[in-house]
Amino acid sequence: MFIVSSYTLAVALCFVTMLCWGSWGNTQKLAAKTWRYELFYWDYVIGVVLLSLIMGFTLGSTGEQGRSFIPDLMQVSAANFGSAFLGGIIFNASNILLSASISLAGMAVAFPVGVGLALVLGVFINYFGAPYGDAVLLFSGVALIVFALIFNGVAYGKITKNKDKNVARKGLYIAIAAGILMSFFYRFVAAAMDLNNFESPTPGMVTPYTAVFILALGMLFSNFFFNTYLMKKPFVGEPVTYKAYFSGGFSTHMVGVLGGLIWGIGTSLSYIATGEAGAAISYALGQGATMVAAFWGVFIWKEFRGATKTINLLLFLMFLLFTSGLALIIVAGNQ
């Protein structure tokens, strides 16, 4: 299988992860013109499963090092399978909430608040689960990101003065709930992998390619429960049915599948990079997706259109602090 052999390459892959995790939300925004997010999300999950299989049978099955995808899948222990599968369930619950927040509050709020909170909590969880890098620099970077989240929340509060307060508040609260849940998923998946030896993993543990596939299975399984419930009892709007889903056109379904493929690429590369960068740093850099998504939301989708100078200053400080925090996290991993 393909294995990363340098910290520089690992960081480069994490930046691709950041772009993918921060950009998949654009497909939901595109689909939202004619398609409820609950329906979009089914196609999204299908895209994640397809990508995990593609990665498993390509990069996960080439080269002489490590175990190939199928043999690796056949030898995984029940405990490690369960850990990665649970990670998929936890992520799915958090990401459905994130999708709901995007539909209510927009990408420029849902990602910085939801995913940003997940970054802060997740760094602590992943670092203490598998310590790697300079702790002072790592947590200093996290502190800057916390301030960036505060500025984003203040800016959002000011821009929503003339909007439906109940919807705006609900979008913010859902983003917070999504972030808390999302902070836990990465560690459960990483725990199923032998992070110190991708070349010859411990029997019963899995390679990154198998881990992502099992995560995708957990997402698909739990989606029958989580998303079915939200289709019947949505946060906003009327209930939707499976009949509505199957009446969607091919191009509409493909937008959702594309979103899943984009997220799946980012996730696969993040776990592939953990061998050299460590779980905490791979996770933190990937969650820099918050700034990518905020960029899309602010500059492309114009979610802060008509903002005052004060709001624009708050957004500038958010970008500056978040970028500075990420820079410290990168340096922390190279110490």
Angstrom distance (rounded) from CA 228 to CA 46:
15
| Average confidence (pLDDT) over 190-204 | 91
Please report how the helices 279-286 and 309-333 are oriented relative to each other, as an axis angle in degrees rounded to 10: 160
Task: State yes or no: pLDDT of 212 exceeds 90.
Answer: yes
Q: Which residues partner with 206 through β-bridges?
A: 193
Is the predicted pLDDT of residue 333 greater than 80, yes or no? no
pLDDT per position as a tens digit, 273-323: 998 888 778 887 887 777 787 888 888 888 788 888 998 899 899 889 988
The residues that bridge with 193 in the sheet, in sequence order, are 206
CA distances from 320 to 10, 308, 325, 334 (A): 24, 18, 9, 22
| Residue 163: per-residue pLDDT | 56
Q: What are phi and psi of 322, to 5 degrees?
A: -65, -45
- Taking residues 67-79, report their average pLDDT: 96
CA distance readout (Å), 65 to 58, 131, 193, 198 = 14, 25, 15, 8
Mean pLDDT (whole number) for 237-242: 93
pLDDT at 164: 63
Query: In the chain, where does DSSP find H-type helix?
Result: 7-23, 25-31, 37-57, 69-75, 78-105, 107-110, 116-129, 135-159, 165-190, 208-232, 242-246, 250-277, 279-286, 289-295, 309-333
Please state the rounded mean pLDDT for residues 207-218: 97
Which residues in 35-53 are b (16+ Cβ under 10 Å) and which e?
A: bbbbbbbbbbbbbbbebbb
What pLDDT is recorded for position 233?
94
Q: How far apart are CA 272 and CA 110, in angstroms?
A: 27
pLDDT in tens, 13-49: 999 999 999 899 899 989 988 899 999 999 999 999 9
Give me the pLDDT at residue 240, please. 95
Q: What percent of the chain has pLDDT over 70?
A: 98
Tokens at 254, concatenated = 């493909």
User: Is residue 57 predicted with pLDDT exceeding 90?
Assistant: yes
The mean pLDDT of 74-86, rounded to a whole number, is 97
pLDDT above 90: residue 114: no
pLDDT at 323: 87
User: Using one digit for the tens of pLDDT, what is the confidence trace for 97-113?
Assistant: 988 888 888 877 787 78
pLDDT value for 303: 77
Report pLDDT for 252: 94
Q: Which of 170-174, 212-216, 258-262 has the lowest mean pLDDT?
A: 170-174
List pLDDT tens digits, range 117-171: 888 888 888 888 778 788 899 889 888 988 887 887 788 777 765 556 677 788 8
Mean per-residue pLDDT over the chain, rounded: 89
Residues in CB range of 108: below 8 A, 6 or more apart: 152, 156, 293, 294, 296, 297, 298, 301, 303, 304
235 or 159: whose pLDDT is higher?
235
pLDDT for the residue numbered 265: 97
Which pLDDT score is estimated for 161?
A: 59
Distance CA 57, CA 62 (A): 8
